[in-house]
Amino acid sequence: MLPTFVIGLREGLEASLIVGIVSAFLVQRGERRALRFVWAGVLAAVLLCVGAAAALQAVTQSLPQRQQEQLETVLALVAVAMVTWMIVWTTRNARTVRADLEASASSALARGSSWALVAMAFLAVLREGLETSVFLLATYQASGSNAQGALGASLGIVLAVVLGYLIYRGGVRIDLGRLFRVTGVVLVLVAAGLVMSAAHTAHEAGWLLAGQQRVLDLTAVVTPGTVRSALFTGVLGWQPRPTAAELVGWAVYLVPMLVVVLRPRTRSAAPQRVTA
């Protein structure tokens, strides 16, 4: 539940920020009539993402066992690539993300068309939604608990929407740099677990044959039905008896990504505010 909650919060907050800033600019410019088109674009993007997720799930379940393992391996690796790009980008740009979004919205308005802002909101929600769909599907397949995963993702998205609305209304100010750092650590742990899961399913698919000797026995810790089991398998992605290939993949991904997320960063000069 925790991994999907963080995924929903991170992806939902990024989309909410973009939609909120776009809506604020339209209100400031007296373009309230365009708001209905913005929300129509957001709804269309959400429906497309839900349809894509349902299609992926249906395709996965309709395949033979061996091909299911192959598709799960590909989805896990794609999800890891997506979340890695997201973590690196937000870690580098968290302090300036609001000013950057305002600059983009201002540039769209300067071109004389509110439709550019509508497209901006649609594409933002579509991009974040597709990333969320792939990442959540890979996480569900790794943990095997769809109900709790769906609940966690729903709660994260709802919280992201509430925070986005409060930021839009000016009722709350959030240190995005600190928020993205904390959630980044959790997502690195989740992504490292997906790397382990990808190594496991790659072996089941017949793609990874090396490094299959068992190096640890965690059955005493990973007892099915316990909180520790949910932590190790659902959050960290560990198997009860991990192989050498799984441990190597986990460590090779985890260590450098934690360095990227936790490395202290010097404060850059405050960006100039953009006036629409």
213-237: pLDDT as tens digits: 888 877 777 666 666 666 676 666 6
Rounded (5°) CA angle 117-95-20: 30
Res. 101: pLDDT tops 70: no
**pLDDT category, 268, cuts 50, 70, 90?**
very low
The stretch 27-42 carries a mean pLDDT of: 78
Res. 270: pLDDT tops 60: no
- The encoded tokens of residue 259 equal 């360095």
162-200: pLDDT as tens digits: 877 776 676 556 666 777 788 788 888 888 888 988 888
- If DSSP codes are grouped into helix, strand and coil, which group holds residue 192? helix
User: What contacts 73, CB < 8 A, 6 or more positions away?
Assistant: 198, 201, 202, 205, 207
Q: What is the pTM of this model?
A: 0.71
243-267: pLDDT as tens digits: 899 899 999 999 999 998 888 765 5
Report whether 62 contacts 183 (CB < 8 A).
no
Rounded (5°) CA angle 238-240-243: 75
Burial of 120 (C-beta count, 10 Å sphere; 0-12/13-18/19+): buried
Q: What's the alpha-carbon Rg for the chain, to the nearest Å?
A: 20
* Cα(213)–Cα(242) distance, integer angstroms: 9
The stretch 61-68 carries a mean pLDDT of: 80
